[in-house]
Structure 1
Amino acid sequence: MFNCFFPDEYLDSTYVINFDDLYAQGYRGLLFDIDNTLVPHGAPADERACALFAHLKELGFKCCFLSNNQYERVSSFNDAIGAQFIENAHKPSTKNYIRAMELLGTDRSNTVFIGDQLFTDIYGAKRTGIRNILVKPLNPKEEIQIVLKRYLERIVLYFYRKEEGNS
């Protein structure tokens, strides 16, 4: 019933993902949401985010931020990192997931999406046919429309955990 929203993986944080293993498995492109995935909502790129992207570049990953935020927010976050980005992405529409892979020169078979929201980030990645990782939000303080979606996400995640045997 809710399977179309189930993530391929569900982890505590972006910062616990084993990117070395992903690279060894043949993945070359990483698409990231920004707010509450890499930093708290509205925050600039911090030392931890900058260090992560320096490591990802060393490994050989190509990265793109895929955000529903406007240009100013996404470009200012990216200033310290220097990745590709697409603002106002209209997630969960598949159009800009595909465009991001084109920018990176990757495809559905070697790209992973990482985000904190089921109904935009993960659902869009699943509709596009790419591997996805849901991470827990970094900060509980969010805009009201996201807070309301989190209640629905809890229901879906209950069934996800139950199916995975982790209820």
Structure 2
Amino acid sequence: MKIFEKFYPDEYTDSTYIVDYKELYDEGYRGIIFDIDNTLVPHGAKADERARNLFKHLKKLGFKVCLLSNNKDKRVRPFNDAVDAIYISNAAKPMVKNYLRAMELMGTKTENTIFIGDQLFTDIYGAKRAGLRTIRVSPIHPKEEIQIVLKRHLERIVIHVHKKEMKNSERKKDKK
């Protein structure tokens, strides 16, 4: 359905931690913008060893990395201190302004920056509006704030429609 297209990510994956970052780097990407909660760690959790190791790996590959979160500074700053990236708190996603600011801080452009997040209506929608390639990851943990739980029901519908459209598109290509 065309009305949902603005929420469709470019890719789906089960986890932030299985993305082939070397391949992204080889494709020319130099900046990655991440959501935090349910993208890198469960909602409200501190940066764990897995997140710290991921950020070390990304920097070693040559990426600039920015955390973009709607959470307050008291949530985002300690997480950022643990992973040593660039960050923007109170980001007001899906507004485009801070996606653009993240790229400015990293010194990247839309053509070489990718966004990774778990929510369609904030993370992915905002990144798409900013002109970024997007990867939607499955939420790490089911425990979420009530307003997010309500959005997840709508997300499931949009994801179902999108995946169905992708299958139909593949079938049409195979018939040609």
Note whether the superposition's TM-score is higher than 0.5: yes
Percentage of matched positions with identical amino acids: 66
Moved over 3 A (4+): none
Deviations 1:114-166 (A, max 9, x none): 00000000000000001010000000010000000000000100111101118
Aligned partner of 1:77 in structure 2 is 79
> CA RMSD of the aligned region, Å?
0.8
Unaligned runs of 5+ in 2: 169-176
Tell me the amino acid that sits aligned with residue 94 of structure 1. V
Q: Say yes or no: does 1:140 pair with 2:113.
A: no
- Please give the alpha-carbon distance, in whole angstroms, between the structure 2 residues aligned to 1:64 and 1:150: 25
State the alpha-carbon separation in 2 of the partners of residues 35 and 123 from structure 1.
17
Alignment correspondent of 1:63: 65
Deviations 1:74-118 (A, max 9, x none): 001111111000000000000000000000000000000000000
In the TM superposition, 1:1-167 aligns within 5 A as 1-165=3-167
Q: Deviations over 1:39-58 (max 9, x none)?
A: 00000000100110000000
Normalized per residue, the structure richer in helix is 2
The residue identity in structure 2 corresponding to 1:32 is: F
Amino acid at match of 1:139: H
- Taking the aligned partners of 1:127 and 1:47, their CA distance within structure 2 comes to 32
Distance 2:139 2:112 in 1: 25
Alpha-carbon distance in 1 for matches of 2:48, 2:128: 29
Q: What is the count of residue pairs matched by the alignment?
A: 166
Separation in structure 2 between the aligned mates of residue 157 and residue 126 of structure 1, nearest angstrom: 15
1: CA distance between counterparts of 2:89 and 2:73? 5
State the secondary structure of the residue aligned to 2:110.
coil
TM-score (normalizing by structure 2): 0.93
